[in-house]
Structures are given as structure tokens and as C-alpha cells.
Structure 1
Amino acid sequence: MATAPQDPKEKPGTDGKAARKPNAAFMKPMNISKELAAVIGSTPVPRTEVTKKVWEYIKKHNLQDAANKRNINADDKLKVVFGGKAQVSMFEMTKLISAHLS
């Protein structure tokens, strides 16, 4: 059984659908708590930028656990953001940060 020849301009695996648009909810600037502002700055930024800036802070201050890079060892500023926890996983971090966004 023969299949119809593909249009050479069309990429394999595409079916003519429009490109996926970014989610507007993630791009909406969020207000930041004083505790989180001490880490990333106080201007309202989208949720995606908050995560990027927290990771920049973690890497700049070498706060990733050497044995298990999925864990973050909090310094004094991050302990306040993380609810007093000295160490959190990267997955738990996003949940704890969201409490500081409004």
C-alpha cells in the first residue's frame, strides 16, 4: 500500500498546527514578598523569572549540595524563604517560593 508523497517544504512530524503559545499566566508579573525580595530583588517579575533568579542566587553562592545536586543548602536569606528549613529539594523549592508570590 503506497502512501502519498510528502510536501518537501513540510517538516516530518508536523501536521500544520500553529506553534505553541506561551502560557500568559506564567508571564504575568507577580508581587514578591520582602523575604524573597532580599534574594532576587523587589521588582514584580513573572514566575518563570523568579525561578531563574533564585537559581542564579543558588549557583552564585554555591548552595547546591555537593553529594546530591538536587538538594539546596539554604543560607540565612533562603532559610527565611524556605520556612526555616536548612535543606530543601529543588522540587520542594518551587512550592515554597510560590507562597511568597501574589
Structure 2
Amino acid sequence: MHPILNKNLFFVKEHVGFFKAANNFDIYDPDSQQIILECREERLGFFTKLFRFSDYKRMTPFEIDIKTPSGERVLTVKRGVSFFLSKVQVLDEKNALIGTFK
């Protein structure tokens, strides 16, 4: 596990935008006010983008990569298409499953 995850306090700031389909966040260290992690949804399919602007947004799949500012991957959080109950997977930098939650 990456040592940056040993911190207890993070400040999360969402990138806002009009007609934005992808989820993008920056994670700051509240003490130094420096960006310590970047969360980006880089692989977003055409139909997923289309459904993000509809009533079905909550059912769309996502795969968010959490990286350091230098580009080193720390975690991946992903979910497939969900109809009733969604299962979210958390993977480490080597794509090994750390855990899931529903």
C-alpha cells in the first residue's frame, strides 16, 4: 500500500464544469495545502457519457484512477453497471483486489 494513504486527514475538491460527464477530483493535504493525489475518470465510453446526462446517471459504471501528481497510480475504484445493488471494487497499484463495498 502506498505510504501517502497513511494520512488521516484529506481535503477533496471536485472539478466542476458545465456538461461534464467524467468525475475528476483533487485531494489536498490540509496542512501544506498541496495536491497529494489526483482522481481522474479517464476511460469513459460513449454510451456512458450519454447516460450521465440522463436520469440513469446513478446506474452508469465508473473507473476512477487515483494517482500521485507525478503519475504513479495508488488505487483504482470501479463499479460496473448497477440496476438495484451496486458493488464497488477497490484495487491497488498492481490491480490486486483490496476490498469491495456495496
* TM bin (shorter chain): under 0.3
Calculate the TM-score normalised by the size of structure 2: 0.22
Give the number of the structure whose alpha-carbon radius of gyration is greater: 1
Task: Judging by fraction of residues, say which structure has more strand.
Answer: 2
Higher relative contact order (CA 8 A, sep 6+): 1
Calculate the TM-score normalised by the size of structure 1: 0.22
Task: Judging by fraction of residues, say which structure has more helix.
Answer: 1
